[in-house]
Amino acid sequence: MGYSGHRFDVNLSILFTELPLLDRPAAAAAAGFTAVELWWPWPDDPTPPRAELDALKRALDEAGTELVGLNFYAGRLPGPDRGALSVPGEESARFRANVEVAAGFAASVGCRALNALYGNRVPGAAAAAQDALALENLALAARAADEIGAILLIETLNRPESPDYPLVTAAAAVEVADKVNAATGLANAEFLLDVYHLSMNGEDVGAAISAHGDRVGHVQIADNPGRGAPGTGSLPLERLLARLTAAGYDGWVGLEYKPGDRPSAECFGWLPREARAATR
């Protein structure tokens, strides 16, 4: 099967970052992709001016690229500030202010998957209190997602790069999704399976797929070591994607890898151009 038969999108927050944000959708389209995803594009501003939101929508529309995934506000990524919704005080308030804005933008472009990074453990706050705050804010996000017909994604990161992030196993992320679904009664919280992060944690990715494949709402890939393109590391990505397909997953596979020392447009040689364009 190779990489054929999957629907790939490009994460424009890690690829094509050598270009201004509004030029990236067209660059992805020029490389043959019809779908993209984004971390929250304004890492220092959870509620950007309407003109900036409209400009991004226009760039996506003019490029003919579908936005298939969007993060809620989560601070500055990549970096030590991972997530906001479980951080007491200003950061969780910024997350709550962002929920309606992010969901509204997602609705305006037809995006049906919203990712909420959990948030680091922070000094001076009890883990149980942070978890209670997280559940409250995730329920808020799940309801906002449901109102636009979207799912809420819960993501595992990895301890070497995000040592204070508490969700570092597939089981932990699925457990949180279950708690959100129980709190809202909506059943729209699902697991974002990031192959790179699971492998960095030393988790058996194939076993995680077997155990939780029916809970996966979105997939992201990068090779390991190095977080580069498929083929630059040692992960059996083709086999893992085939295993996901066998488990019933037919959704998007986000390319969330680093281009290395070359322009982003040159790091897709592993994927035939005819396999890059995909629509729902």
- Rounded Cα–Cα distance for residues 11 and 29 (Å): 12
Q: Which of 267, 252, 229, 254 is nearest to 18 (CA)?
A: 267
Dump the DSSP string for 66-83. Answer: EEEEEEPP-SSSSSS---
CA separation for the pair 163, 36 (Å, rounded): 28
Tokens 């910024």 correspond to 94
Catalytic residue among 155, 161, 203, 274: 155
Alpha carbon separation from 105 to 8, 66, 113, 141 (Å, rounded): 22, 13, 12, 14
For the question of residue 266 being annotated catalytic, the response is no
Answer yes or no: are the C-beta atoms of 40 and 72 closer than 8 Å: yes
Catalytic residue among 37, 66, 190, 256: 256
Q: What residues does 50 pair with on adjacent strands?
A: none
Name, in order, each residue with C-beta under 8 angstroms of 101's C-beta and a sequence gap of 6 or more: 46, 47, 48, 53
155 is catalytic: yes
225 cis-preceded (ω within 30 degrees of 0): yes
Query: Catalytic residue numbers?
Result: 155, 256
